[in-house]
Amino acid sequence: MIGDHLQDMVRAELRVQGFQIEAEGNVKEFEGRKLEGDEHGLDIIAKHKTKKLTIGAEIKNERYPTPPSEIRTKIRMCNTFEIMPVFATRWLEMHRKMIEESGGFLWQFKKQFYPRRCEEFVEIIRTKFKIPVQVAGNLPPEAIRDIEEWILKQ
């Protein structure tokens, strides 16, 4: 549920930022290019409507960090598809260098997002376990600023 929720928010923001969604949902092939022998896929592939910029977005709303091997696989997929890797995630700071050295963008939100009607549950998680969580229907302003600045640099 929370993974789908973040994917919905990221998809909406990418559209606001001028991207056209080209493929979605465990994408393993793009424009005739395919990474052989891998069970992984990308969450979203999107092309910017005015810039020559196509991205492969991997979206993570998990509490546990993604292993480096999965980050490398997603970067390899983007390289095969000849697109830019974007990791839209709660937290992957430990992989920033690897992502940026690949030419990718780490789009970090620093909180785990939950949909509306989860307010009571989120309050329990926040107060009892001190986990950074939030009920949100849109990405926070600082995350929007980060993607806008990154797009401008491309």
Q: Is the pLDDT of residue 23 over 80?
A: yes
CB 47 within 8 A of CB 53: yes
Average pLDDT over residues 77-86: 96
- Dig out the tokens for 134 from the structure: 């939030």
Determine the Cα angle at 104 with ends 103 and 109, to 5°: 150
CATH-assigned architecture of domain 2-111+140-153: 3-Layer(aba) Sandwich (3.40)
Determine the Cα angle at 51 with ends 48 and 56, to 5°: 40
Domain residue spans in the chain? Answer: 2-111+140-153
CB 136 within 8 A of CB 125: no
Q: Is the pLDDT of residue 145 over 80?
A: yes
Mean pLDDT of the chain: 93
Strands 29-30 and 33-34: antiparallel
Question: CA-to-CA distance for 30 and 34, rounded, in angstroms?
Answer: 7
Q: Is the pTM of this model over 0.95?
A: no
